[in-house]
Structure 1
Amino acid sequence: MSKSETYYQWARRKGVSRRDFFKFCTLMGAMLGLEATEFPKIVSALQSKPRLPVIYLNLQECTCCGESFLRSSHPLVSDLIFNMISLDYMEVLQAAAGKQAEEVRLKTMKDHPGGYILVVEGSVTLGNGGVFCTIGGVSTTDILKQTAEGAAAVIAYGSCATNACVQGAYPNPTEAVPIRRVIKNKPVIDVPGCPPIAEVITGTIVHYLTYGEIPELTNQGRPKAFYEHRVHDNCVRRAFFDAGQFVESFDDAGAKQGWCLYKMGCKGPTTYNACAITEWNDGVSYPIKSGHPCIGCSENNFFDNTPFYTHLAKIPNNALGKDVDQVGMDVVGVAGLAVVAHAGMTAVVKHGEKKAKEGSKP
């Protein structure tokens, strides 16, 4: 496929119908939280603009983010994600290796100055001059700086890239740091998660193509469309939380009935991500729905915060406005008052009925 070929031209050549192309555009608009009036702009951009060159770097990580990236499953995205972009360099997928592979990266940088997106998976290591993570004898810290220099924007993909994840956990022997600690002269879009949701990258790229700028970000530098709400806000178990029904141990009666996992260490109330909305595996499920508490993997320092299976005694900043350890008692208390009130009203009504009957007797 020629790099001057547009997304729409490629899709039509591959047999994608115009109807399915419009479905894809509509999906992207919905995922980004755009109004329906913005739909024609997305269509116009994908019909008229050529593919966007992308360089994907793998630094200090385990490749789980790349595995997630490979499994983007929304309509068309699974087929288009590697074809609608010009994925010029990605160590996990490319056939080339060594000098040949590095020449491809350098060529993209030379041919498209200021016109390519840099996706970075993994943390940067600063210890001992970055010797802990090197490619061809060059530290990945230097490779990152060199590649980011001509990028239009940098997407830090995954928790290793956004908060250093397990590499940055105490005692952090390699001095691992997030991408934004090193890249200061380019817009950095954080897409945290271990792994993150693949469609976030697709939506970010489509937004950039449509408007020529990165999407609106939260105060932590994350795409607002995907990281504005807590997992708890849209959780399938939220009703059980509000009712004070909690799983006390795995496989107890509450666990079998799908009760809230907060007391099992669930960090959903303090974790901002789209897991409960977008879900995984083509919208089939996400950890809490499958019976495992959220470990808060999209939040900074999540490896050092608390044991994964121990819940926070108090939720920071009064995020929920209630003490979880007391909510069950409160609910029982309210229910008890309701029972007493109902019984009292019933007694009053019956007493009134009795007096009315006695008054009607001759």
Structure 2
Amino acid sequence: MAIASVATEYVFSDFLLKDAKEAKYKGVRLDLAVDKIVTFLAVGLPLFLISLAFAQEVSVGTQISCFPPTNFSWKQAAYVDSFCWAAVQQQADSSPFWLHKFFPYILLSLAILMCIPALIWRFTAAPHLSSDLSFIMEELDRFYNRAIKLAKNLASLDDKDANQDSQSSASELAEGCFKYLLVEQYLKTKRFTHILVVKYVVCRVLTLLILLLACLYLGYYILLASLIDEFPCDLRTGVLKNNSMVPPAIQCKMVAVGVFRLLSYINLGVYMLLSPLVVYAAFGPARQSSGFLRPYELLPGFGALGVIRPVYNDLSIYLMFLQENLSELKSFKCLQVLELLQLAGDEGFDTMCLLQTLGQVKTDVLDSRKMSTKNKEVKKPEE
């Protein structure tokens, strides 16, 4: 009997969480995996394509190649290239040649625009969400520890020596420990607030709009602007206006348009694939439920939250990010082990003693709550 008591003591001690010396939950994730993928690709891809564009410029040289007269020297030919490159946007042709000139900088603008929704979320919602998530996760771990400690104290009582008074006092102690679950009461209040969910949906809608605008621009560039890469350049300006030695027009060609067209195809294809992901993320709060907290139902007093309905409120946002940070919850891992042992029906005395004690405490708490509810219903008609 003494050996069994010592073994039970060790089992309870193993499942009891130790107090961390360092600050807890430093690595709380404030972005969902889908949002991280969208932001990484939407921002990183244009920056990568910009580097390819500038690498092409370094390897090929000038972005424009003009055909000067044969009597021009190499300095005059270089001047023609520089002059026509500067005068690209002044062409009378309706084709927007300036898009070829500023194509890398337009990609840079797209990357900056894609950062805006992530920055809005980071500076307006993430600080408040971080503090709340740390509080919720800490309370869940404390609730688990209280349940294990209570089960340990109850298991240490010898059933033969324990009288009815000690059993009733144990039930009252269990009821007192789990009567007011702070984390569940706090989460219930989030059913009636919509600040975080509005910010989340606004950021997703803004991301989708920027993606669609980028797709429109890239589609326009591919279908119209990139088809024409040659134009005439008039050199007769300034002191050369009346110089008969200078021809009225020189044919020029944009060298990098073919490369820019290929980069546009790549960027457009990736952005079109990201758009459904953004829509999927925007409907995330409507699909969220509290079913992932099912292992905590092994503990007495838990379960008053229930499975939420698919609605847009702050509670769905908290549950989404709580599910994203389950790896930070040590109590969740321990409860998963206990749940698997319970489903497997392990006959080991020590572990089953812990499970049986938790089940008994849970039953006592539920019975106490039912009795208090009945007493309230009886008192109301009498009044």
Query: Comparing both structures, which one devotes a greater share of its residues to helix?
Result: 2
TM-score using structure 1 length: 0.21
TM-score using structure 2 length: 0.21
Which structure has more relative contact order (CA 8 Å, sep 6+)? It is 2
The structure that has the greater radius of gyration is 2
